[in-house]
Amino acid sequence: MFRDIFPYTEFPRMVFEEQPVPMEIPDEVWITDTTFRDGQQARAPYSPEQILKIFDFLHTINGGTALIRQSEFFLYSERDRKAVRLCQERGYDFPEITGWIRATASDFKYVTQMGLKETGILTSTSDYHIFLKLKKTRAQALQSYLDIVRAALDNGIIPRCHFEDITRADFDGFVLPFAARLMELSQEYKSPVKIRLCDTLGFGVPYPNVKLPRSVPKLVAGLRKIGVPAEWLEWHGHNDFHKVQVCAATAWLYGCAAANCAIFGVGERTGNPPLEALVVEHAQLKGTDSRVNYAAITELAQYANKELGFNIQPNYPLVGRDFNVTRAGIHADGLLKNEEIYNCFDTHNLLNRPVGVAITDKSGAAGIKHWIEARYHIEIAKHDPRVIAIKDRIDLEYAADRMSAISDEEMETWTQEAFGDKLPPKR
């Protein structure tokens, strides 16, 4: 149970060692998606038609690349299988459709029925799961896993073993021997056998000199050292300790080619790495790709809010309503001089999200000028009397102990009153 690291009655601990492991960034890294599997464990199920729409968005973001390479699906209900069939009818090369099953022969029939080339298989690795949940010995668990992997290979299907709870597992005593047996099967069948490293409770940390089993660098490096190819490794994290994004990126840095994610980080409990964040992380690591449709991320967020019942927080990075909106007058003044001063990248061209300014008592004339110019085809001076009139009105609001920001609706009304028939149409 690693009680020195996971005392349970206290917060988990990080034990540091002197020896780190070196980075080993694969030549190519990519994203896989679990929106329709883990992502549906945190919300009401999507309809098959909604799944198809999201799947279309994933394909659109790819823009002809294989950036979002795979998407995994539940296969158990007729609703699940209908969604798979709808997506299969699209005929996309990417994302490739894969399945997810438990390590039982009865589940395997769904994979063959749907004609899938690859499936994930739940293969728990920690003693918490093997002893306390499955009520098995390690040898019994290992044999049951190998039996279902062999059944997949016998049917020409690539198995992807989900090493559940790997960040609490005995790495030398179970994880490495299990992985070694899988590599033997891959050689026997001349077929890939993939491994997904599942940080089930978010215990993974990105530090290369933290003691196993919590160090993401050491987990990935250890599997690479016994010969598991980078392209057969995949990271799947959870955000229990606010490290879901950095751990996914760290897995890339140390030799894991694939990082698993879900749209807007929605997944079991605290969620998975956000798909949109990994798309941008990939661009920072490997370079912005002109083929990738980054702006489709904004369209996906709009669809999720309007049609799927999402309530993406206004300050949520990259897609939140206010993620690139400033409220400080001194910041607004900087934006007017040069947008780069207070915007992290060209959000207008890359995400179709022009930089914005929210109006408060701290916005000043510069903020008001920026707000008006952003919504109307007009250029005005910061000290234009009409701008000052609006500022005076705002100052009166806050002098009367107003606490909230000025709404866009209020600003539109006041701007129309100040400018009258000289105000052009909104952008």
pLDDT in tens, 308-321: 999 999 899 999 98
Residues whose CB is less than 8 angstroms from the CB of residue 134 and which lie 6 or more positions away in sequence, other chains included: 124, 141
Answer whether residue 55 is part of any domain: yes
pLDDT at 176 over 80: yes
Task: Give the pLDDT mean for 100-117.
Answer: 89
3-class secondary-structure state, position 167: helix
3-class secondary-structure state, position 36: coil
Choose one of 307, 333, 368: the last residue of a domain.
307
Nearest to residue 159, comparing CAs of 198, 108, 201? Answer: 108
Answer whether residue 2 is part of any domain: no
Residues 96 and 137 grouped into a single domain:
yes
Choose one of 307, 339, 374: the last residue of a domain.
307
Task: Give the pLDDT mean for 200-218.
Answer: 98
Is there a contact between 30 and 281 (Cβ–Cβ < 8 Å)? no
Answer whether residue 78 is part of any domain: yes
Is there a contact between 344 and 378 (Cβ–Cβ < 8 Å)? no
Residues 85 and 207 grouped into a single domain:
yes
Which pLDDT does position 327 carry in this prediction? Answer: 65
pLDDT at 348 over 90: no
Q: Which residue has the tokens 């549906």?
A: 40
Residues 272 and 330 grouped into a single domain:
no
Is there a contact between 203 and 165 (Cβ–Cβ < 8 Å)? no
Task: Give the pLDDT mean for 163-190.
Answer: 98
The strand pairing partners of 163, in sequence order, are 123, 197
Where residue 198 sits, what CATH number does that domain have?
3.20.20.70
Q: How far apart are CA 165 and CA 124, in angstroms?
A: 6
Which pLDDT does position 344 carry in this prediction? Answer: 85
Residues 39 and 137 grouped into a single domain:
yes
Is there a contact between 293 and 61 (Cβ–Cβ < 8 Å)? yes
- What is the CA angle 395-400-406, rounded to 5? 55
**The pTM of the whole model exceeds 0.95:** no
Q: Tokens representing 212?
A: 């196993």
Which pLDDT does position 328 carry in this prediction? Answer: 63
Q: Torsion angle of alpha carbons 143, 145, 150, 156, nearest 10°?
A: 180
Answer whether residue 319 is part of any domain: no
Residues 85 and 164 grouped into a single domain:
yes
Q: How far apart are CA 117 and CA 111, in angstroms?
A: 8
pLDDT confidence tier of residue 336, bands split at 50, 70 and 90:
low
pLDDT confidence tier of residue 422, bands split at 50, 70 and 90:
confident
Answer whether residue 92 is part of any domain: yes
Answer whether residue 5 is part of any domain: no
Residues 94 and 161 grouped into a single domain:
yes
Percent pLDDT > 90 in the chain is 78
Q: How far apart are CA 289 and CA 173, in angstroms?
A: 42
Which pLDDT does position 260 carry in this prediction? Answer: 98
Choose one of 275, 307, 339: the last residue of a domain.
307
pLDDT in tens, 79-104: 999 999 999 999 999 999 999 988 88
Answer whether residue 320 is part of any domain: no
Domain that holds residue 209: 30-307
**Number of domains, the chain:** 2
Lowest mean pLDDT segment, chosen from 83-92, 213-222, 288-297, 331-340: 331-340
pLDDT in tens, 273-315: 999 999 999 999 999 999 999 999 999 999 999 999 999 998 9
Residues 336 and 365 grouped into a single domain:
yes
Residues 189 and 80 grouped into a single domain:
yes
3-class secondary-structure state, position 235: strand
pLDDT at 332 over 70: no
H or E element in which residue 258 lies: strand 258-261
Which pLDDT does position 331 carry in this prediction? Answer: 61
Q: Which residue has the tokens 């992807």?
A: 160
355/55: higher pLDDT = 55
Residues 221 and 122 grouped into a single domain:
yes
Residues 158 and 61 grouped into a single domain:
yes
Task: Give the pLDDT mean for 111-134.
Answer: 96
Which pLDDT does position 427 carry in this prediction? Answer: 66
- Average pLDDT over the chain, rounded to whole? 93
Residues 237 and 176 grouped into a single domain:
yes
Q: What are phi and psi of 178, to 5 degrees?
A: -65, -50
Which pLDDT does position 377 carry in this prediction? Answer: 77
Which pLDDT does position 374 carry in this prediction? Answer: 80
Percent pLDDT > 70 in the chain is 97
Answer whether residue 11 is part of any domain: no
Residues 291 and 376 grouped into a single domain:
no
